[in-house]
Structure 1
């Protein structure tokens, strides 16, 4: 188990929360693959970059409840708030399972469920 994987994920999340998508992507492998269970799969850093450009027009707000590391995996649970396509803040509960390779995030399996809307517009 690499104890740095949790620290890497924390740094990556801090970058994206600060609006630094490229800083976040620096922690990902070029062939990173993100699977949003029941929705879509993004293959490669460029696909993730394009997703972030549209989904994270305004940086998301994370509340990490748990980070659990085992072997090459780090699991994060918590809530995330971000604007939807109508510009309204929506809150989601999530469980992200990250697989690391050589100190970078190589794969994400994300379980994301809408739990409610925040501020109305």
Structure 2
């Protein structure tokens, strides 16, 4: 695929995310894509595969939000298999705190789908507002376990 086509995919993803629609992103990734969160905070790690990314990153993350998460692309640059997106997020957590992170995503494409997403952001905001990753993950899993035992 061309850089322009890849860039159009990211434009479509963020046009949908401005409305809170995450389905376009889900349809635009390889089943085995990788999400890397570099840095030195508790959330910094690599998540591999669509199932693991939903189970270990997106599920726990979105469980913290009281309002619908929206995001908008401020700038997009595409070259070859890569698209770089400067993004602004907008959401309130269940604790009533704003989690309006500023991001720089580097998306790598393969065969017209996202094969890798690298997320750079304000890791201090991540820790202050979202909390420790392992605690969030454990609480999320405990809620899932409790929900399934009550069925």
TM norm structure 2: 0.65
Q: Normalized per residue, which structure has more helix? A: 2
Task: Tell me, in whole angstroms, the C-alpha distance in 1 between the residues paired with 2:59 and 2:15.
Answer: 17
Unpaired runs of 5+ residues, structure 2, are: 130-151
Q: CA-to-partner distance for each residue in 1:17-74, whole Å, 9 max, x for gaps?
A: 4444344211000110001112122110112223323323543222321100011000
CA shift, 1:112, in A, is 1.0
Unpaired runs of 5+ residues, structure 1, are: none
Given the superposition, is the C-alpha separation of residues 69 and 22 from structure 1 closer, same or farther in structure 2, using an over 3 Å criterion?
A: same
SS at match of 1:83: coil
**Aligned length in residues:** 117
Compare CA radii of gyration and give the structure with the larger one: 2
Q: Supply the RMSD in Å over aligned alpha carbons.
A: 2.5
SS at match of 1:94: strand
Task: Tell me, in whole angstroms, the C-alpha distance in 2 between the residues paired with 1:14 and 1:52.
Answer: 19
TM norm structure 1: 0.79
